[in-house]
Copies of this chain bind each other. A is one copy, B any other.
Amino acid sequence: MKTRIEASLQAALEGVDRDAPPRLRAALHHAVFPGGARVRPRLALAVSGACGGHPPGLALATGCALELLHCASLVHDDLPCFDDADLRRGRPSVHKAFGEPLAVLAGDALILLAFETVARSGHLAPERLPALMTLLAEAAGPARGLVAGQAWESEPEVDVARYHRAKTGALFVAATRGGALAAGADPQPWTHVGMRLGEAYQVADDLCDAHATAESAGKPTQCDVRNDRPSAVTRLGTAGALARLQDLVAEAVEAVPACEGQDALRDLVVKIAERLVPASLQHAAA
């Protein structure tokens, strides 16, 4: 599955490799490769598979688009005017390596490439595109998606649950619902799996920020306290956050609807969850 996802991401950059200004091209490759766990596309493909999986190309494009939108948000979140992070996935962040102008443009480009990727696979099932494209735009968008989540940080008053649903949850929900939509299935039964996984991911991210070193995390840590950001660790303590994480993963597994690939999908959810806990806390979580 991982190989197909990497190949699809490479293919998404084909036009860039052919025609883009060389420094932007390098910045885009830096932003996308090597990636993290590619959790969102794996989830989309798994759900699509559980729903019959036809046409496979549309689910792959959907997963690839979600990963590109995720990469876009990382590049922009790292900018000096937001987190001012020098490190990402163990290497210099895009603005550190290529400067601020190319980091702004790389983020914009990744959003556009996400939609181009789905558009280019759209001929496989054009009647599914309106719902699929709306889902992707909303998941990253300013009302309840990624951009909204980041923008809540500029507000004096924030509802923490709403902030997390937008900043982390929206792309997970889009992964499960999008996988179903790409396969022509009803997305509704898949909403809860994505929601619970998104919440689990946020708690894990908070644990990682509080307990991992920058070296093991591949990005700056201890940011939540420094930036006075809401965190499950400050709210529940480390043990409480770990317990919450395990509950959420159990709820995600439980929420997988009856379908042909139910067991395989439950295994994937557990496997994704295992990677979420920082190494230094693995014994506590065992």
Q: State the A residues within 8 Å of B (CB).
A: 15-16, 18-25, 28, 72, 76, 79, 81-82, 99-102, 104-109, 111-113, 115-116, 118-120, 122-123, 126-127, 129-134, 136-138, 140-145, 147-148, 150-155
Which residues of B are found within 8 Å of A72, using beta-carbon distances? 108
- Distance (whole angstroms) from the CB of A21 to the closest CB of chain B: 4
A123–B127 CA distance with the chains assembled, in angstroms = 7
Please give me the 8 A-B residue pairs with the lowest Cβ-Cβ distance, nearest first.
A122-B130, A119-B133, A109-B142, A116-B137, A24-B151, A19-B143, A15-B143, A81-B100
Contact status A20-B111, CB under 8 Å: no
| Given contact pairs A126-B129, A130-B123, A15 touches B154 in the complex (Cβ within 8 A) | no
Q: Which one of A19, A82, A136 has the highest number of Cβ atoms from chain B below 10 Å of its Cβ?
A: A19
Please measure, in the bound complex, the distance between the C-alpha atom of A109 and the C-alpha atom of B150, giving whole angstroms.
11
Tell me the bound Cα distance from A106 to B141 in angstroms.
10
Beyond contacts A21-B155, A119-B132: 4 other A-B pairs, Cβ-Cβ < 8 A, are: A24-B148, A25-B142, A108-B108, A129-B133
State A79–B105 Cα separation when bound (angstroms).
Answer: 12
Tell me the bound Cα distance from A15 to B132 in angstroms: 17
User: A148 — which chain B residues lie within 8 A by C-beta?
Assistant: 19-21, 24
Cβ-neighbour of A20 out of B115, B129, B143 (below 8 A) = B143
A24 to chain B minimum Cβ distance, whole angstroms, is: 4
Which secondary structure characterizes the binding site on chain A?
helix
Q: Which residues on the B side are within 8 Å of A126 (C-beta)?
A: 126-127, 129-130
29 CB contacts below 8 A, A to B, read: A15-B142, A18-B143, A20-B142, A20-B143, A23-B151, A23-B154, A24-B147, A24-B148, A25-B142, A79-B104, A81-B99, A81-B101, A81-B104, A82-B104, A101-B153, A101-B154, A105-B151, A107-B108, A108-B108, A109-B142, A111-B111, A112-B137, A116-B138, A119-B131, A120-B130, A122-B130, A126-B126, A129-B129, A129-B133
Nearest-Cβ distance from residue A133 to partner chain B, whole angstroms: 4
- Chain B hits for A107, CB < 8 A: 104, 108
The answer to whether residues A16 and B142 also contact, given A107-B108, A129-B133 and a CB cut-off of 8 A, is yes
Residues in B with CB closer than 8 Å to A100 are 81
**A79 to chain B: which residues have CB within 8 Å?**
104
